[in-house]
Structures are given as structure tokens and as C-alpha cells.
A and B are shown apart, each in its own frame.
Chain A
């Protein structure tokens, strides 16, 4: 029987996670991943990769919980295995601090991370401008290592990788039976989704090996995450800003804000700066669609998995599993490729 030809567009954490899920679970699929940029040049590469997320407004809460839990369980298993160093996955403890007590003191993922608790009064003394905090242990997944590790896994499952730029999804309709769109920010032009917009983030990489805990200000603007070799120190959230060059004034401001939380950071060695454009969207788009193709009666099935904003690494595996579910659905409905419309 002819195999179902699947193409995954995008080589960031969403693209490779989804491609691996499909290639490993569905041997009847021949999966090719196509992208113009690969690690270390994807948005995922510079992200701190700490498992943490804010609620999306319009997605069913149970679904968001499942995305978070599936991702956490998947990464935790890697962290606990001999694959951890190669995959760039590690456990990380720290806290999130708030300037005002939030309406929701216990987030929906509190029972998934480890050891979730509130900060005590004496712990908060160190942050005079903050009056509430949460401590927990979560996972950090560094894509500069994780993406190559996923690619290895993908190829071992029979996946093929191709570097090229796709202008329209319809281009692929002739060659493939099913398209999985993990194009992130690129979806804006690739499928004409005006909801997708860049949310610029600038970070510094700092060497300060005496810092073992992360601290995140709940405003999402000031944070530092100790990683395998260095800290990711940030940050910014600039909607609609496409500048890819680092801004030195912003770097100074980031360091100033973070040093207020952790003065010893000032003794760290700045290794470099990095800028990424988060694929912002009101909610991630994880759904199926049928696209008509120009000039022919052929229609092609598409599974979308893009628009995760700053939650890409956190939700990659969970949304990839959802996308896999949609791929399975499509295959079941459409039967063998020859019978497809």
C-alpha cells in the first residue's frame, strides 16, 4: 500500500516536535520536513525554554491543561534519562513574583510542575516591590540542543529533511497528501493569517554559575533563567516590532531590572545578546482545514499548529500530539490516497 506522504512546514520546536510525533506514531506516513531556516537560526533557538505558560483566552481550559501536562511529562522523562544532556533538558527551580496579588493565585498548571507553593513572608522580604510569589520546580528545554536531538530522532524514524522556502502551502499540494503547517510567524504570509504578529524579545546570555534558581517577574518582562551553560536574562515584549538587531540600550535596561532582583548578576560575564520574534497570536491555532488549490479540483488537507507566542517550547509536545490526532483523523476519513478527492 502506498504510504501517505506528509509534509511538515517549519523546523522550529513546533515543526520538529510535530514531525517526530507523526513519523514515530504513523509508520504508514512518509514524512518530510521542509523549512528555510534550521537550528541555530530559528526563533526557538534563543528562547530560554522554561516550561511556563499563561492562559490563552479562547482555548478550552482542559485542552490547555492537557497540552501542558503532555509536554511536561514528555520533557521530564527525557530529563530523567541518559538523553538529558544531549537533548538540552534539565530540571529548574525558582520563583515567580508579583507586584500585586493576582486574581488567580494558583495557575492551572500548578499541579503539573513540582512542589508548587507560595513564597513565605520572609522569602518575599528580598523583593521589597513585590508582595506575592510562587515557588516551584519546572523544566528547561534548550532548543539549540533539543532541535538537533529531535532531528536525529526524526531521521531515525524514517523522516526526510529538506531546506527550501515555501511561498504558498498550495505549492506542496502536488507532491504531498497532507500538509502540516508549523510555520510560526511565517504563517502570516504563508496562509494569510493576519492574527499572527511578531512580539519581539531581546535577551542576554550571561555566565554566572553561582546562580541556580530562576526568578520571573509576573509582568513577563523581567526574568533570568539559569541554563546548562549560561543564564538567559531578559527581556522585552514589543508587539509588531520586527527589528532583529539587539538594542544596546535595551540590554542595559534588562540588566538593570534583573540586577534589582539578583544583585550578584552584575558580577556575571555577558556572553552575548539575542533577539527573537515570538509568533504572537491571540491563541495558538491547532486545527485542521481543507485548502482548495488554484486551477484544479484538488483539495489538500492541512493541519495547522502555529501561533504559540512565548509558549512554544512549553507546549510543543502537547500541541504536536493534538496535531497528530488531527492527522490520524484525516487519514481515517480519507482512506487510501488513491481514493482521495
Chain B
């Protein structure tokens, strides 16, 4: 079985790892290929601070909170392994500051040591009179991505630097399953009006005395459009802006000025810190995470009839890179198979008409421990816009509609 993953950011690489872990023993001739035009250190994941925290509220999208939890728990389990330092994963505590009262966040039961900030703590942050303290995880892309690539390469996963122009291109080449983890530029592959860039710009600063992250939440500005300071293992990431629809990856001086002034106001000790560099990246923003299976026929190929293509991609915003890796159960506890968790279960379920995936006796989930059965069934039923069957006539490929939100 030939699986192709499009995208080599944290989503693509985590997905490849999960597929390998889950299926390499049970699927004969499983090969995994990763296609991307950008690899570490040039992906969006590399520039991100690498801080595990979802948006404050899931607004009823409880599956996202579930994915977030699975990711957090997985990363936490990795902490006690000897690999954790090489993976770029570590604990860090800090402050979520709100200008006014706000309800507790959806992640409060996921993180460690969640509590409200005391009056005296809030005195440190004039203008903020409510907030929380907790311990969360850092997962630094510039370390984690190379680690993932090494892991995959040593297990025979092939990498190709190539911009894939269409799913058909891969289907024609004989790929059986495509996993689309192409992030913000997924529109180039298939139009998605819900997908748009959420441009961010950050300043990397040398300020090693800072050991806590600080995130602010202003009702006036949207999330990540107000200051945040996130220390990393070497430099501190200072932000932020969140500019919907802005495709520019160039650094902007006006943004720099705003970010720096607001951050210094929030954390006066930054005033004389040495600025190392600016960076701008495009968060792949979407109304909801798109985790969805799709069938695309690929005409006259070795594959007869319909191919089974799993379309799995665009995350909702930068931090959901991590939410997302939980989708394919980026969880590799000792002895655990890697789960295709939650809705991702249905991705790899053979469709009634697909003859491609040969389900071993007992189904694909023959190795799965009891508890997830109900979960899988539930996932198949709830909320999932399980792939609209898009049949294209053999031989002809429909041109995809032009991507929305063109490049500026």
C-alpha cells in the first residue's frame, strides 16, 4: 500500500509517524512518502514558538478539546523518556491574562496545576485584572521536526522536495492513499473557502532570565493580536499579530514596532534585551479543523475503479498543529500501537466499494484494544462530514475552482 503525505510540517510528519506505527506490521508492503516544497527549518511549524495551548474556548467543538488532550497527554508521556530533550519537548509554566473577567478555558482540565491568578500576581500586570496560571508543554519545531524526520527516515519513509500540483498527480503515479497536510496553501490543491492565512509576526529575543510564558487576551483585539511572550530553550518569542487574509511572509516594520512596544509594556525587563531576528508566518486558519475523508477517482491507472483518497488537512490555526497530531493519535507509549484516534478512525476504514485496502481478519482495528470501539463508532456518526463523494469521470480531471483568498 502506497501512502503519500503532502506537507512536512508538524501535521504531515506526525501523521506519517502515526501511520507507520499503526500499520507497518499489519499492512503488507506499506510504503510512506512525504512530499513538500518546504522542509524544516523553513516550515510554518519551525517559526512558531512551539507552545501547547489551544484557543481559550472550543465553543462546543468538544472533539477539538479531545484532540488537544490526546496530544498533551502524549507529549507528557514522552517527557519521561530519554528522547524528550532530543525531541525539543519540555514543561513551562506561565500566565494567561485577561483584561476583564472571562470564563475558564476549555483546556483547564488538560494542563497541569491550573489555578486562578491571585491579586498579588495580577499586580505585576497593570491593565489585566483576571487570569490563570498553569504548567503546559513546549514543543519546539526546529528540534521536533528534525527528530521526526530522522525517526521516519530510519524506518524507510521517503521524502521528496516537490510541490504537488494536484491529487491526480499522485494518483497517476500509483499512490493509493493521499493524506493532505498541506496547511495554509491547501487551497492550491483543492479550493477551500473556509481556509485563510492568519498572518503572524514574531520577534526572537535573547532574554534568558524569563522562565514563564505570558499570554494576553483582550476583548478588544482578537487572540494573538495582543501581546504574548513565550520563552524557548534558547530565545524568547515575542508577538503578536493575527492578520486574517494577509499572505505576506515578509517582516513588517509597523508590526514590529507594535509588537515590541506592547511586549515591553507587558514585561519591562525586555527593554534592553538583544533582538535577534524577526519572522513572519501564515497560520493555516479555518473555521474548524478539516479532518475529512474524500474519494477521488483517478481514471485509467493501475488502480481500477475508484481510488480511496483520504483528505486530511487544514488545521484551524497555528497552535492546532498540535491538536492535530493527536488526530492520528500521535501517541507512542511503550508498547502501544499508535492510534488513529477520534474521527481519524474513519479515514482509514475501508469504504464498502474500495477494494484497495485489504482489511486483515478482524478489520483494520484488529489490534485495537477494546475501549476505542465505541469511540470509533461514535466518531463515524457525529459531526463528521464524511467525504462527499466527488466522482470525476475517468480520463478527465475537473479543474479545481481558483483558490479563495489569493496571494497578495
**Which of A's residues lie within 8 Å of B, judged by CB?**
76, 79-86, 88-93, 114-115, 117, 120, 123, 135, 137, 209-213, 226, 228-229, 263-264, 267
Central interface residue in A76, A120, A264, by most chain B CB within 10 Å: A264
**Which of B's residues lie within 8 Å of A, judged by CB?**
79-80, 82, 84-85, 90-93, 112-113, 115, 117-118, 120-121, 124, 133, 135, 207-212, 231, 233-234, 268-273
- Shortest C-beta distance, A69 to chain B (Å), equals 11
Asked whether A115 and B118 contact (CB < 8 A) given A212-B92, A213-B91, the answer is: yes
A85's partner among B92, B120, B133, B269 (CB-CB below 8 A) is B269
Asked whether A264 and B85 contact (CB < 8 A) given A211-B90, A212-B90, the answer is: yes
* 17 A–B contacts from the bound complex (CB under 8 Å): A76-B124, A80-B269, A81-B268, A82-B272, A85-B272, A90-B210, A91-B212, A93-B93, A123-B112, A210-B84, A210-B85, A213-B91, A213-B135, A229-B208, A263-B80, A263-B82, A267-B85
Cα–Cα distance between A264 and B86 once the two chains are bound (Å): 10
Closest to A92 in B: B211
How many residue pairs, one in A and one in B, have C-beta atoms under 8 Å apart? 81
Closest to A226 in B: B211
Q: 8 tightest CB-CB pairs across the interface, nearest first? A: A84-B269, A210-B90, A82-B271, A90-B209, A209-B233, A267-B85, A212-B211, A228-B209
- Shortest C-beta distance, A79 to chain B (Å), equals 7
CB of B209 within 8 A of CB of A210, answer: no
Cα–Cα distance between A162 and B289 once the two chains are bound (Å): 68
- Shortest C-beta distance, A209 to chain B (Å), equals 4
Which residues of A have CB within 8 Å of B120? 114
CB of B93 within 8 A of CB of A213, answer: yes
A84's partner among B84, B113, B209, B212 (CB-CB below 8 A) is B209
- Shortest C-beta distance, A61 to chain B (Å), equals 21
Central interface residue in B112, B207, B208, by most chain A CB within 10 Å: B208
Cα–Cα distance between A80 and B93 once the two chains are bound (Å): 17
- 19 further A-B pairs in the complex, CB-CB below 8 A; given A84-B269, A120-B113: A81-B269, A82-B269, A85-B272, A85-B273, A88-B209, A115-B115, A115-B118, A123-B112, A137-B133, A137-B212, A209-B234, A210-B84, A212-B90, A212-B91, A212-B93, A213-B91, A228-B208, A263-B80, A264-B79
CB of A93 within 8 A of CB of B211, answer: yes
CB of A264 within 8 A of CB of B84, answer: yes
Closest to B117 in A: A115
Cα–Cα distance between A107 and B80 once the two chains are bound (Å): 31
Which residues of A have CB within 8 Å of B80? 263
- Shortest C-beta distance, A121 to chain B (Å), equals 13
Interface of B, helix, strand, loop or mixed by DSSP: mixed
- Shortest C-beta distance, A299 to chain B (Å), equals 46
CB of A80 within 8 A of CB of B268, answer: yes
Closest to B267 in A: A80
Closest to A263 in B: B80
Cα–Cα distance between A334 and B342 once the two chains are bound (Å): 81
- Shortest C-beta distance, A13 to chain B (Å), equals 18
Cα–Cα distance between A75 and B234 once the two chains are bound (Å): 25
Which residues of B have CB within 8 Å of A90? 209-211
- Shortest C-beta distance, A82 to chain B (Å), equals 4
Cα–Cα distance between A120 and B113 once the two chains are bound (Å): 8
Which residues of A have CB within 8 Å of B208? 209, 228-229
Closest to B264 in A: A82
Closest to A208 in B: B85
CB of B113 within 8 A of CB of A135, answer: yes
B207's partner among A85, A93, A115, A137 (CB-CB below 8 A) is A85
Which residues of B have CB within 8 Å of A137? 93, 121, 133, 212
Which residues of A have CB within 8 Å of B92? 212
Cα–Cα distance between A90 and B113 once the two chains are bound (Å): 21
Closest to B206 in A: A85
Cα–Cα distance between A83 and B192 once the two chains are bound (Å): 50
Cα–Cα distance between A65 and B237 once the two chains are bound (Å): 37
CB of A123 within 8 A of CB of B90, answer: no
- Shortest C-beta distance, B242 to chain A (Å), equals 26
CB of A80 within 8 A of CB of B124, answer: yes
Which residues of A have CB within 8 Å of B210? 90
Cα–Cα distance between A114 and B118 once the two chains are bound (Å): 8
Which residues of B have CB within 8 Å of A82? 268-272
Closest to A135 in B: B113
Cα–Cα distance between A136 and B112 once the two chains are bound (Å): 14
- Shortest C-beta distance, B23 to chain A (Å), equals 31
Which residues of B have CB within 8 Å of A212? 90-93, 211-212, 231
Closest to A79 in B: B269
Asked whether A85 and B84 contact (CB < 8 A) given A114-B121, A123-B113, A209-B233, the answer is: no
Cα–Cα distance between A210 and B87 once the two chains are bound (Å): 11
Which residues of B have CB within 8 Å of A120? 113
- Shortest C-beta distance, B51 to chain A (Å), equals 12
- Shortest C-beta distance, A261 to chain B (Å), equals 12
Closest to B210 in A: A90
Which residues of A have CB within 8 Å of B124? 76, 80
- Shortest C-beta distance, B309 to chain A (Å), equals 40
- Shortest C-beta distance, A330 to chain B (Å), equals 35
- Shortest C-beta distance, A206 to chain B (Å), equals 13
CB of A115 within 8 A of CB of B209, answer: no
